[in-house]
Structure 1
Amino acid sequence: MHRSLSAKRFMTAAAFMLLVAIDQPARAQEQIDIAKFDMTLEENFDKLDVSPWGENGSRWIAHTPWNGDFGDARFTDPTDGFPFTVDAGVLRIEARKGPDGKWRSGLLASTNPKGQGFSQQFGYFEARMKLPPGKGVWPAFWLIGIDRSKLTAEIDVMEYYGRVPYEFSSGYHIWRASHGGKDSTDGHWTTVEDGTLSNEFHTYGVEIKPEKTTVYLDRKSIWSFDTPREFHMPFYPLVNLALGSGWPIDETPNPSYLLVDYIHVYKRKAPDTAD
């Protein structure tokens, strides 16, 4: 989510579509068997426990723990009715352009700046969401490694750019440049039926295992890669509705809404206890 897969954003349409085709060779989709897991985080959004920075031990904070905004909407502290509301077990994150002409929106992260909160080493992380339609929207479900002292490890389970409603991107990044190293990155585009991601709820998940990491759409595998050694640490989930990502937001619907049904995290059962 820092600047994920930015090079592809500026390709010609023909070259871009060719690369998508190359990135997505035909492969058998494996279904993840959730019966082989125990749930470790169950957030069903029957209510929302959030504060700006984790005051009073809230489950979620409303900023990145390192206080880094991105995109063209500022992530704001929660107030009554904005940018978060919950109704019938669904979280609504709202992006709105205010009377001052500035856009504001919402982000949730499960740890505070001291690393307190929920994080987990290895396992399956999943969110069920309905994405906003419209040019300029940039919702995402992503993970960050808890230890940022020497690098930042990031997994973008799903990033969606509203100007291309027939696809979304997944990727990973190991940000080392700020500590004198070289960044590593890789990614994958998934093509879907035009508009389905904003018309229906879908699940977006990733399982991190010591040797292999696999990304899932509706619990079917869409991409996998060898797990970097830097991912052998606890990760925590984030979800947000950003705007822009290098694209204009002058046609972005005001307001725009990201709907989140749940965020669940699981850990694999020991082999002798798995069903």
Structure 2
Amino acid sequence: MRYAKFAGRLALLIIISLFGPPGPRPSEAEEPLNLDDFQLTFAEDFDTLDVSAWGEKGSRWIAHTPWNGDFGDAQFTDPMDGFPFTVDDGILRIEARKDADGKWRAGLLASTNPKGEGFSQKFGYFEARMKLPPGKGVWPAFWLIGLDRSKFTSEIDVIEYYGRAPGEFSMGYHVWRPSNQHTTDGHLTNVPEGSLSSDYHTFGVDIGPQKSTFYLDRNPIWSFDTPPEFQMPFYPLVNLALGSGWPIDETPNPSYLLVDYIHVYQHKSLVSENND
């Protein structure tokens, strides 16, 4: 939801999530995700953090969107000592805080740089284990962007959370086109109020050639037919933003998003095909 600078786009997703058709759901027969069918292809466990502003010296992460399209009411900040990223005992902490001059700053990580260098993968299961910040105005997210943006931008929002509504979060996808003829669908998931801030949970999406499915704690939540625009590699991003159209005057200062890991897996059948 961060590629296009459209003021009304967030409202559109909320309307779709709350009132629009939910789209196909997983059948009751579907079981929790079985990772025995997958092979781990990307493991970020945050024992250390290799990040630079824009990929200097080939860092694993950059601290901005690769297209320089930062968003929200807190400025994403180049990494510095102790802010906005710290790692401790295998946990990444992304901090949002207000400077002495009253300006909010926060952090974002993306796994490719503006040249498209870094990690991306076509199809597979993308997952983050996170503990979300409480409080009005916080806007944490784990999301994916398609690598080729020459004709359109494909986006998958594995989780977007708005602190004003601690009993729900949204999942969705978008295909942004220069013609403004966008494809958008989403699903709102209800959870026990405050549960996403009181403990860690996993948020994932399995992108397949025909069907894609969102997961919470590896239980299927919502499925959709894979759009043709998803036939490309995607790369992960994680961030703690503020606002998204909601006031931040009551946002806790500081606020923290805690990330245990970001893992990506590939279907073993597709690994075999790619190696043939």
User: Residue 270 of structure 1: SS of its match in structure 2?
Assistant: helix
> What is the rounded CA distance, in whole Å, between the counterparts of 2:114 and 2:101 in structure 1?
30
Alignment of 1:209 with 2:214, yes or no, is: no
Alignment of 1:86 with 2:87, yes or no, is: yes
Alignment of 1:111 with 2:116, yes or no, is: no
* 1:6 CA drift (Å): 2.1
Q: Which segments of 5 or more consecutive residues in structure 1 lack a partner in the other structure?
A: none
> What is the rounded CA distance, in whole Å, between the counterparts of 1:229 and 1:272 in structure 2?
20
4+ residue stretches of structure 1 with deviation over 4 A? 24-27
Q: Deviations for 1:38-94, whole angstroms, at most 9, x for unmatched residues? A: 100000000000000000110000000000111100100000000000000000000
Is contact 1:110-1:118 (8 Å) kept? yes
RMSD: 2.1
Is contact 2:50-2:60 (8 Å) kept? yes
Q: In 2 relative to 1, CA 156–271 (structure 1 residues): closer, same or farther, beyond 3 Å?
A: closer
> Aligned pairs, how many?
265
Q: Which residue of 2 aligns with 1:7?
A: 12
User: Residue 56 of structure 1: SS of its match in structure 2?
Assistant: helix
Q: In 2 relative to 1, CA 249–124 (structure 1 residues): closer, same or farther, beyond 3 Å?
A: same
Is contact 1:156-1:170 (8 Å) kept? yes
Q: Matches of residues 218-237 of structure 1 in structure 2 within 5 Å? A: 218-237=217-236
> What is the rounded CA distance, in whole Å, between the counterparts of 1:138 and 1:16 in structure 2?
17
> What is the rounded CA distance, in whole Å, between the counterparts of 1:26 and 1:153 in structure 2?
23
* 1:137 CA drift (Å): 0.2
* 1:23 CA drift (Å): 3.7
User: Residue 229 of structure 2: SS of its match in structure 1?
Assistant: helix
Q: In 2 relative to 1, CA 64–164 (structure 1 residues): closer, same or farther, beyond 3 Å?
A: same
> What is the rounded CA distance, in whole Å, between the counterparts of 2:115 and 2:142 in structure 1?
22
Q: Which amino acid aligns with 1:104?
A: R
Q: Deviations for 1:175-201, whole angstroms, at most 9, x for unmatched residues? A: 00x2x3511100000000010000000
Q: Which amino acid aligns with 2:64?
A: H
Q: Which residue of 2 aligns with 1:138?
A: 139
> What is the rounded CA distance, in whole Å, between the counterparts of 1:81 and 1:128 in structure 2?
22
Q: Which amino acid aligns with 1:226?
A: D
Q: Matches of residues 24-35 of structure 1 in structure 2 within 5 Å? A: 28=28, 30-35=31-36
Q: Which residue of 2 aligns with 1:193?
A: 192
Q: Which amino acid aligns with 1:125?
A: F
Q: Which residue of 2 aligns with 1:65?
A: 66
Q: Which residue of 1 aligns with 2:168?
A: 167
> What is the rounded CA distance, in whole Å, between the counterparts of 2:17 and 2:227 in structure 1?
27
> What is the rounded CA distance, in whole Å, between the counterparts of 1:26 and 1:208 in structure 2?
14
> What is the rounded CA distance, in whole Å, between the counterparts of 2:210 and 2:184 in structure 1?
17
Is contact 2:146-2:233 (8 Å) kept? yes
> What is the rounded CA distance, in whole Å, between the counterparts of 1:46 and 1:252 in structure 2?
29
* 1:35 CA drift (Å): 1.1
Q: Which amino acid aligns with 1:267?
A: Q
Q: Which amino acid aligns with 1:227?
A: T
Q: Which residue of 2 aligns with 1:265?
A: 264
> What is the rounded CA distance, in whole Å, between the counterparts of 1:232 and 1:30 in structure 2?
26
> What is the rounded CA distance, in whole Å, between the counterparts of 1:155 and 1:116 in structure 2?
20
